Amino acid sequence: MSPRGRFTVRGGKEVERLMSALSDEIAEVAGRVLAPGSFKALVMIGGYGRGEGGVDSRGGAERPHNNVDLLLVTAGGASPERWRAALQSALEPLGRRHGIGLDVGAIAERALRWAACRVIWYDMRFGHKTIAGDPGFVPSLGRFTADRILPSDARDLLVNRGTLLLLNDALLAAGRTPERDKAVLRHAAKAVIGYGDALLFFLGEYHWSYQEKRRRLLGRHDVPPAFQVLYDRAAEYRLEPAGSLFGRQDAAAWTESVRPLLAEVHLACERARLARPQLEWAGYPEAALRRAALDAASSPRALARALAGRGATMPTPAGLSPLAALGWRLASPRERLALVFPAVAYTLPDAALGSLRATLGPAVDGPAAARDAYLRTWGAVADTNFGAALERLGLSLDETERAA
């Protein structure tokens, strides 16, 4: 076994040797590319960092099923983006040679030490492997605990993963290919797991381990049984796609069939976050924006941003109370997208949600137009790598508009 421990739950010696060798090669590349003193640690996070990575055994050989996620923690005054880009570029030949995606993120040590507790930082603290640098650094980040995770970040986790379902809609609209269908199933599994993880957080049951989260969600009596089955199959697909029932369904039919169930889980999470147990989607924009205003009003800096016209790039939805309208102005562009997401993803026929859809632009009078406007905005304000992801998938949003 590697001195870094296991990388997968079910993988045999072959895939474990591959991942151990890959880790050593990543460390060697980092040693060549990163200047001495420029970083505190380079860590593997995600499934393989937890020791719970997926394995694809098609073709008689075991292969990693997921991309490898790396986080570079820079030291001193070193630029996170400069060194992230340098390392990402240097690792590309290695990833191509192994046929594995290697994705590098970066953050400054000081920024990480003072960061608010987010899901990613809690998960990283307990589920990571140090590839290079100080092995004691990440475990020392004791302030990242499950009870300190921001509720808004758990909401963002759900929306981030849910956006993959909108990407799936665009992929299916652009025309079916085996590669696109494979991507759709991979995105769908990630989305379902994200919804379940957010639900566990709002039930007070979140945990860093995929296996423990699966056990906890399946053991709850207050989770819809249909969603438990869905989550269980998605978790199985993430671990071992070749033998999973999740991978044997028609992508388009599945997407439509689960939309109401995912809307139900999303609403349950927002009821808990907003402390509104009777909340329905019809009252969601008003309730969410009033809370945003009250939360932000305690910050003079946030109020100054609102007075400076922060909300000018996206029109204020119609029919809001003055307090909710202030909440819209105070919200960041990404926060507004989180509020707009259910109006686009679930195509619910409600006037208030329709007003949210209209903030994406004047020509969003149909589900496809709203979806593509949302995805364009997402790429602009929420995920700077989204354009590259579309390119890898061979997808143009212009192409989906023509198909519609």
Answer yes or no: is pLDDT of 157 > 80.
Answer: yes
Residue 52 is predicted with a pLDDT of: 94
| Position 378 confidence tier, pLDDT thresholds 50, 70, 90 | very high
Write the DSSP string, 307-364.
HTTGGGGSPPPTT--HHHHHHHHHS-HHHHHHHHHHHHHS----HHHHHHHHTT-TT-
Among 313, 353, 354, which Cα is nearest to 332's?
Answer: 313
Q: Quick one: DSSP state of residue 134?
A: -
Tell me the sheet residues that pair with 73.
41, 107
264 burial via Cβ count (<10 Å: 0-12, 13-18, 19+): middle
CA distance 247 to 60: 18
Answer yes or no: is pLDDT of 312 > 70.
Answer: no
Among 168, 311, 319, which Cα is nearest to 249's?
Answer: 168
Q: Answer whether 66's CB lies under 8 Å from 251's CB.
A: no
Residue with tokens 């997921």: 66
| Position 402 confidence tier, pLDDT thresholds 50, 70, 90 | very low
Report how far apart, in Å, the C-alpha atoms of 59 and of each of 62, 63, 163 are: 8, 10, 31
Among 141-155, 276-290, 340-354, the range scoring the smallest mean pLDDT is 340-354
The mean pLDDT value of the chain amounts to: 88
2 burial via Cβ count (<10 Å: 0-12, 13-18, 19+): middle
State the average pLDDT over residues 309-338: 83
Answer yes or no: is pLDDT of 150 > 80.
Answer: yes
Residue 263 is predicted with a pLDDT of: 95
Q: Quick one: DSSP state of residue 53?
A: B
Q: Which residue has the higher pLDDT, 147 or 175?
A: 147
| Position 397 confidence tier, pLDDT thresholds 50, 70, 90 | confident
Q: Which residue has the higher pLDDT, 228 or 365?
A: 228
Residue 2 is predicted with a pLDDT of: 72
Residue 404 is predicted with a pLDDT of: 47
CA distance 372 to 361: 11
Q: Answer whether 373's CB lies under 8 Å from 360's CB.
A: yes
Give me the sheet containing 102-108, strands edge to edge: 102-108, 68-74, 39-45, 129-133
For domain 13-148, say whether CATH 3.30.460.10 is its number: yes
The domain spans of the chain are 13-148, 151-403
Residue 301 is predicted with a pLDDT of: 66
CA distance 293 to 300: 12
CA distance 316 to 324: 10
Note the pLDDT tens digit of each residue in 19-67: 999 999 999 999 999 999 999 999 999 999 999 998 887 677 888 888 8
278 burial via Cβ count (<10 Å: 0-12, 13-18, 19+): exposed
Tell me the sheet residues that pair with 69.
45, 103
State the average pLDDT over residues 105-125: 96
Answer yes or no: is pLDDT of 398 > 70.
Answer: no
State the average pLDDT over residues 68-74: 96
CA distance 233 to 244: 7
Answer yes or no: is pLDDT of 306 > 60.
Answer: no
State the average pLDDT over residues 352-370: 81
Residue 86 is predicted with a pLDDT of: 96
Q: Answer whether 340's CB lies under 8 Å from 374's CB.
A: yes
Residue 130 is predicted with a pLDDT of: 97
Residue 300 is predicted with a pLDDT of: 66
Note the pLDDT tens digit of each residue in 233-278: 999 988 887 666 665 566 677 777 888 999 999 999 999 999 999 9
CA distance 134 to 269: 38
Among 100-104, 168-172, 177-181, 366-370, the range scoring the smallest mean pLDDT is 177-181
